[in-house]
Structure 1
Amino acid sequence: MREKETSGSVLRKRTLITRGSPQQVLVFGFALLVAVGTLLLCLPISIAEGHTLSFHNALFTATSAASVTGLVVVDTGTTFSYFGQAVLLLLIQAGGIGFMTLTTMIALMIGKKISFRERLVLKESLNQNSTEGIVRLIRKVILYSLVIEAAGTVLLALHWMEEMPPGKALYHGLFHAVSIFNNSGFDIIGGFAPYVGDFYFNVVSIVLIFLGSVGFIVLSDLIDYPKNRKLSLHSKVVLSFSGVLIAVGAVIIFIFEFTNAASTGALTVAEKLLSSLFQSTSLRSSGTSTLDIQSLRQATQFFMVIMMFIGASPGSTGGGIKVTTFAIMTAAFVTMVRGKQDVDLFRSRISKDLVYKAITVMFVGLFIVVSATIILSFSENQPFLTVLYETTSAFGTVGFSAGLTSQLTVFGKTVMILLMFAGRLGPFTIALALQSKAKKDLYRYPEGKIILG
C-alpha cells in the first residue's frame, strides 16, 4: 500500500513538471541550473586557497552567472580556483544561450528526437512566434556561439600575449570572450579600467557585446542576407533601434562626462569618444566597463538606468524589457501623437496584441524595479539613485554596480537574487508562469468611456 502511495506521489510530481506550461518549465529549469551551480561553487575544490565562500554568496554568484548579470559580492579572480572559474564559465554559457538550448544540443548529439512539447519550451526560451524551424535555429545558435567565442578567444589571447605567458593569455582570452559575448560582465583580471584607451581591446569587446545583444535570430538573418537579400521586420527593428540607442548613449555619456576629472576628464578626446562608445554599447546588457561607475555624474548614472531598463533584444544573451518592446512603445506613442489608427514600423502594421504585450512587459518590469528599489531603500539605508541603479542593473542583467552590491545585507542580496532571476527569464515569462490556465471569455461588457489627459 505504501509503495503504491509513494509511486503515486512520484507520478504526481513528474506530472507537475511534464505538464506545466512552457513558462513554468523555463522557471523550474533555470532554478535547477542555479541550484546545481550553487552546490558546485560550495565545493572546496572551487575555492582558491586562503579564501572562504558562504552558501549565500555562492547562491548570489551562481545566480549572477546563470542570469549573465555580472554583479559580484566576491572577487572572481582571487576567490575561485580554476575549477570554480570553469563552473562559472559553464553557468555563463548555459545562461547566455539558454539551458534548454544546451540540453537540446546534447539530445541531438545522442540521436534523441525532440518532442512537440520540448519544441514549445524551446519556442518560449528563444522568444519565437512558432515552433517551425526551431531545431534548425538551435543548431545555428550553437554554431554561431562557438564560432564567435572562438574568434574572440583568439583575438583577445593574441593581444594579452604581450602582457602574459601564452597559456595564461589563452585562458584569459577564453574566459573573457565567453563572458563578454554572453553579456555577463564577469572578469578575472580585476576590471578593465587599464584598457580604457586600448583601441584593440575596445573594438574587439564592442563587437562581441553587440553580437551577443542583438540576438541569434538577427545573426541568422545577417548571415543569410547575401543569399536572400532581405531582412525580417524583427531584424530591421532590432538593428535600427539598437544602433540609435548606442549612438545616442555614446553622445550623451561623452557630453556629460567630458569635464569630469574623476572619469574621462584626464583622457584625450579620442579616448573619451572610445570609452563613451564602449560604455554605451555595454549598456545593452553587458556590464563590462572601462570606467569607474561610482565616479560618473548623477545625470549620467540616471541616464544609464533608463538604458539598462531597455536592455538587449529578444532571443539574445541580454536582459531588460528588450529593444523591440521599446520600439513598439515608441511607435505607439508616435501613432497617438499623429492621430493615426494603426501602429506602423518599417511599413508593417503592428497588431494590437503585440502592443498590449509590450505594455504588459513594460509595466511588469517597472513594477519589479520600483518595488525592489523601495524595499532596498528601506532595508539598506543607501542613497536612492544608488539603489535604483543597482536594482535596474540586476533586473536588466547588466552587471554595472554603483558600489552597493558589495555592501548588501543578506536580505538585500536575496532581493537582488530574485531580481536577477526575474530579469533573465523576462517579465512576461514570469507573469505567464504565475498565471492560471487561460479561459476564454464567454461574454463581453458594453464599451465604456473614460476621459484622459
Structure 2
Amino acid sequence: MAQGSTPRRALLRHPAQIVVLAFLTATAVGTALLWLPFSSEGPGSATFVEALFTATSALCVTGLVVVDTGEHWTTTGHVVILALAQIGGFGIMSAASLLGLFAFRRLGLRSRLVTATETRSIGLGDVRSVLLGVVRVSLVIEAVTAVVLVSRLALHYEQPFPQALWEGVFLAVSAFNNAGFVLRATSMMDFVADPWMSLAVAFAAILGGLGFPVLLELRRHLHRPRMWSLHTKLTLATTSAIYALGTVLLTAQEWTNPATLGALTRPARLLAGFFMASATRSSGFNSLDTAEMTTGSWMVMDVMMFIGGGSASTAGGIKVTTFALLLMVIVAELRGENHVSVFSRRVPERVHRQALTVALLSVAAVVLGTVVLSELTHHTTDRVLFEVISAFCTVGLSTGITGELTEAGQLLLVVLMLAGRLGPITLGTALALRERRRLYEHPEGRPIIG
C-alpha cells in the first residue's frame, strides 16, 4: 500500500508535471482531431505538421498559423480550434492559480496568513472557489464581448445572423483568451477604423491579459484601491504604462507609412495605434499589415511581446510583474538602496532572483531559437527574431514568414510555443517549491562588476 502511494505523492509534490502532461495530452488529441479528413476543406486531410502546428498554436493561445484558418478548416475544424483555445486559456489561468495554491500550502501557517492578508484574493486553499471564479469571469467577459461583436456584424455589416453569431462568438472567445485566431484571412484589418469592433476585441484581450488574481480583486474592491494587493497595483501600473508608451511609439513610427497608418484618417490612426499596442502584448490580432510596418515598429513590438501580460493570465511573455520588479531592482541599485520597495512594500531578495532567472532563461530561449531558425530559413534576422519572440511569448503576430518556413522551422516554432506557454509557470512554481533555508553561509567574495 505504501509502495503504491509513493508515485502519487511524488507527483503531487511537483504539480507542474501535471500541467505539462495535461498540455501535451491535449495537444496530441487536438492534433489527431485536426488531422482527420472532416476537419479540413477539400479532399484528404491536413498534413501532420499543419495539424500539429495549429493545435499547438490554439492550445497555447498563440495564433500563429501556417494555413488560412477560415478557408483551410471546416466548421468542425473551427470548433476544435475554438475548444482548444478555450481550454488553453481557461486551463492556463486555473493551472497557474492552482499551482500557486500548491506552493502556498508549503509555507508555514503564519506566512500563509500574512500572504492571504496581503493578496486579498486567494484564500488558504479554497480551490473550488478559485476555479469557479475563473469560469465566471471568463464566461461573463466572453459573453459581453460576443454580444457587442454579433450586434455590430449583424446590424452594421448586415451579415446573416447565424454567420454573425458564429463569427462574433469565435472572435470573443479568441480575444479574451488572447488566442489570436480569426475566421478572416486579414485578421482585424477589415475593422481598422471601426471602434466598436476594434475596442471590443482589444478590451477583451486586455482583461484576459491582466490575470485572474487581478480580475478577482478588482471585482471585490474596484472602488477601494487601498485594499488592492501589491501584485494588483504593480500589474495595473505597469500594464497601463506599457500600453500608453507602446501606443505612442507605434503610432509615431507608422504615422506617415502609406502601407499602414498613412492611408487612414487621424481618428482611425489613433485607434489602430492603440489596437496594435494592445495586440502586441499577447492577443496576436492585427488591424494593420504587420509585414508592411517599419523595422523600428518591429523592435518596439519585440520588446512588448517579450514583456507580455499579467501573471496567471491568458497572456504570454515573462509577465509584467517580472519586468517591473527587475526595473525596480535596477532603480534601487542605482540609488544605492539596500532593499527594493514598491508601493510601500519591501520585496524579498529571493523574489529578485526568481524574476532574474525567468527573464534570463527566456532571453536564452529567444536567442537560441533565433540562431537555429536563421539557419533553417533565408529570411532576414529582424523577421526571424520577430517570429521567434511571437512564438515563444505566445503572441501570434507575424511578418508573414510562418507559412513559408520549412517543416523543420515550423516544428521549431511548435517547441517554442510549448516552452513559452509552460516554461514560466512551471519554472516559477518550481522555484517557489524549492525554497529552503541554507544552514550555513560561505565567506563573502566580491568579483569586479562592469
Report the TM-score, using the length of structure 1 for normalisation. Answer: 0.88
Shift of 1:163: 2.9
- Residue of structure 2 in register with 1:207 after alignment: 203
Q: 1:302 to 1:186 in 2, by over 3 A?
A: same
Map of 1:411 onto structure 2? 408
Residue 129 of structure 1: how far off its partner (Å): 8.3
Which residue matches 1:178? 173
Distance 1:226 1:35 in 2: 41
Note if 1:93 corresponds to 2:86: yes
User: 1:60 corresponds to which residue?
Assistant: 53
Question: Structure 2 CA distance, aligned partners of 1:342 and 1:79?
Answer: 55
Note closer, same or farther for the CA distance 1:336–1:227 as it changes in structure 2 (3 Å cut): closer
- TM-score, normalised to structure 2, is 0.89
Query: Which residue number corresponds to residue 120 of structure 1?
Result: 102
Contact 2:358/2:427 (8 A) holds in 1? no
1:65-76 alignment, distance < 5 Å: 65-76=58-69
Aligned residue among 386, 397, 404 for 2:394: 397
Does 127-136 or 207-216 show the bigger shift? Answer: 127-136
SS state of the match for residue 304, structure 2? helix
Q: What amino acid is aligned across from residue 62 of structure 2 in structure 1?
A: T
Q: Which moved more, 1:392-401 or 1:424-433?
A: 424-433
Q: CA deviation at 1:365?
A: 0.4
Match of 1:23 among 16, 24, 28: 16
Q: Please list the CA deviations of residues 62-112 of structure 1 after superposition, one character each: whole Å capped at 9, or x if unmatched.
A: 00000000000011111111111111111000101116849x9xxxxxxxx
Q: Are 1:358 and 2:355 counterparts? A: yes
Q: What's the counterpart of residue 318 of structure 2? A: 321
2:364 maps to a residue whose letter is F
State the match for 1:371 in structure 2.
368
- 1:441-452 matches, within 5 Å, as 441=438, 443-452=440-449
**What secondary structure sits across from 1:399 in the alignment?**
coil
CA distance in 1, matches of 2:425, 2:438: 21
**Amino acid of the residue matched to residue 126 of structure 2?**
G
How is 1:33-48 mapped onto 2 (pairs within 5 angstroms)? 33-48=26-41
Rounded to whole Å, the distance in 2 between the matches of 1:144 and 1:312 is 17
CA displacement at 1:432 relative to structure 2: 6.6
Counterpart in the other structure of 2:252: 255
Distance of 2:167 and 2:103 partners within structure 1: 34
Equivalent residue, structure 1, for 2:215? 219
The secondary structure found in structure 2 opposite 1:344 is: strand
Q: Which amino acid aligns with 2:34?
A: L
Residue 152 of structure 1: aligned partner? 145
Offset, 1:56: 1.4
Please provide the CA RMSD for this pair.
Answer: 2.8
Encode CA deviations 1:307-348: one digit per residue, 9 max, x unaligned. Answer: 100001101101000000011011111101111111111111
Judging changes above 3 Å, is the alpha-carbon distance between structure 1 residues 26 and 57 closer, same or farther for their aligned structure 2 residues?
Answer: same
Given that 2:122 and 2:213 are in contact with CA atoms closer than 8 Å, whether structure 1 keeps it comes out as no
Which stretch shifts more, 20-29 or 315-324? Answer: 20-29
Distance 2:147 2:361 in 1: 41
Name the SS for the 1:349 alignment partner.
strand
Cα deviations by residue, 1:347-366 (Å, 9 ceiling, x for unpaired): 11111111111100100100
Could you say which residue in structure 2 is the equivalent of 1:349? 346
1:196 aligns with 2:163: no
3-state SS of the aligned residue for 1:284? Answer: helix
Q: Partner amino acid for 1:168?
A: Q
Instruction: Quote the offset at 1:203 in angstroms.
Output: 1.5
Q: Distance in 2 between matches of 1:241 and 1:436?
A: 27
Q: Secondary structure at the match of 2:173?
A: helix
Q: Which amino acid aligns with 1:60?
A: F
Match of 1:5 in 2: none
Contact 1:157 1:170 in 2 (8 A): yes
Contact 1:21-1:433 within 8 A present in 2 as well: yes
Paired residues of 2:103 and 2:429 also in contact (CA < 8 A): no
Shift in alpha-carbon separation, 1:150–1:326, aligned structure 2, 3 A: same
Q: Secondary structure at the match of 2:341?
A: strand
Q: Please tell me the residue identity of whatever aligns with 1:96.
A: G
Q: Secondary structure at the match of 2:288?
A: coil
Change (3 A) 1:117 1:332: closer
Distance 1:50 1:72 in 2: 21
Task: State the Cα distance separating 1:234 from its structure 2 match.
Answer: 0.8
Provide the secondary structure at the position in 1 that maps to 2:314.
Answer: coil
Letter in structure 1 aligned against 2:231: H
**Alpha-carbon deviation of 1:48?**
2.1
Q: Structure 1 16/443 Cα, relative in aligned 2: closer, same or farther at 3 Å?
A: same
Q: Please state how far the C-alpha of 1:444 moved relative to its aligned partner.
A: 3.1
